[in-house]
Structure 1
Amino acid sequence: MKLSQILRWTQTDGKHLLMRLFYYTYIPIILILGYKSMNIQALFPQLASKQ
Structure 2
Amino acid sequence: MSYDQDSGKWFARLMFRNHYVLLKSFDTMDEAIQARMDAEKRFFPKKTRSH
Q: Same fold (TM over 0.5)?
A: no
TM-score bucket (shorter structure): 0.3 to 0.5
Q: TM-score, normalised by structure 1?
A: 0.37
Greater C-alpha Rg: 1
Larger RCO, structure (CA 8 Å, separation 6 or more) = 2
Structure having the higher helix fraction is: 1
Structure having the higher strand fraction is: 2
